[in-house]
């Protein structure tokens, strides 16, 4: 119940294409869902986040789609660029406890030039 | 406004030695979280602290690991008698508040290698 399942493990996209990364959870106490971007040797950086009272949030080329009934959420990167090549992590914040983050296992994205 | 700072960035220890990792949160942040990332894996929660208090240590091994966040100075994650399995990247994150709005900002991490 404390897991966040993330897929795919790796993804290769052509420049200008759409990258889609999916996450699923079981625990209904999760109520905040951030996405982090991590470059090699660096710490995770917050990209975009959503709460379950909205179904979609868009910031620039990044969009989160949220399906509360299915307990799924996804990150869409439009017009993917080589500079987007990084590892992406979804996470969830458990309001039934101390709001620590539960992270997915990560998706390594490579955008081909 | 400086971000979350961690030092050292890289730490090499021999088995049995002690590792001491430091985290200075962002200015104005009083909540600190420590996470561990094994190679090719996601981040796993270890411990959550507020100034002078451990709030949640459910992810931290019961033996050899300890954490503190004193009134003055950085948060410290201490690993005694390190073993090869402790080799990982250790990240701390800070937040200005706890609870539902605890947006967490991560530091660059300390990469611990145990020989």
Q: What is the per-residue pLDDT across A36-55, written as a single tens digit (0 to 9) for each? A: 999 998 999 999 999 888 99
DSSP-based three-state secondary structure for A84: helix
Q: Show which residues on chain B lie within 8 Å of chain A, measured between beta carbons.
A: 4, 6, 33, 35, 41-45, 48, 55-56, 59, 91, 93, 98-100, 102-109
Q: What is the per-residue pLDDT across B7-41, written as a single tens digit (0 to 9) for each? A: 999 999 999 999 999 999 999 898 999 999 988 78
B-contacting residues of A 60-89, CB under 8 Å? 89
- Residue A83's φ and ψ, nearest 5 degrees, are -70, -10
CA distance A78 to B99: 32
End-to-end Cα separation, chain A, in angstroms: 39
């Amino acid at each position: 119940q404390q897991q966040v399942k993330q897929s795919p493990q790796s993804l290769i996209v052509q420049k200008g294409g759409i990258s889609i990364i999916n996450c699923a959870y079981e625990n209904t106490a999760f109520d905040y869902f951030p996405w982090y971007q991590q470059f090699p040797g660096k710490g995770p950086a917050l990209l975009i986040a959503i709460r379950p009272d909205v179904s979609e949030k868009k910031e620039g080329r990044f969009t989160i789609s949220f399906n509360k009934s299915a307990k799924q959420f996804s990150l869409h990167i439009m017009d993917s660029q080589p500079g987007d090549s990084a590892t992406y992590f979804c996470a969830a914040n458990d309001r039934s406890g101390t709001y620590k983050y539960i992270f997915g296992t990560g998706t390594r994205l490579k955008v081909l030039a | 406004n400086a971000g979350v700072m961690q030092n050292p960035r890289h730490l090499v220890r021999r088995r049995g030695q002690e590792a001491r990792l430091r985290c200075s949160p962002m200015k104005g942040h009083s909540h600190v979280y420590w996470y561990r990332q094994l190679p090719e894996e996601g981040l796993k929660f270890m411990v959550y602290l507020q100034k002078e208090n451990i709030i949640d240590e459910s992810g931290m091994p019961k033996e050899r690991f300890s954490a503190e966040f004193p009134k003055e100075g950085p948060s410290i994650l201490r690993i005694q008698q390190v073993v090869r399995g402790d080799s990982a990247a250790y990240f701390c994150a800070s937040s200005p508040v706890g609870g539902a709005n605890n947006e967490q900002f991560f530091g660059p991490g300390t990469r611990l290698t145990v020989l």
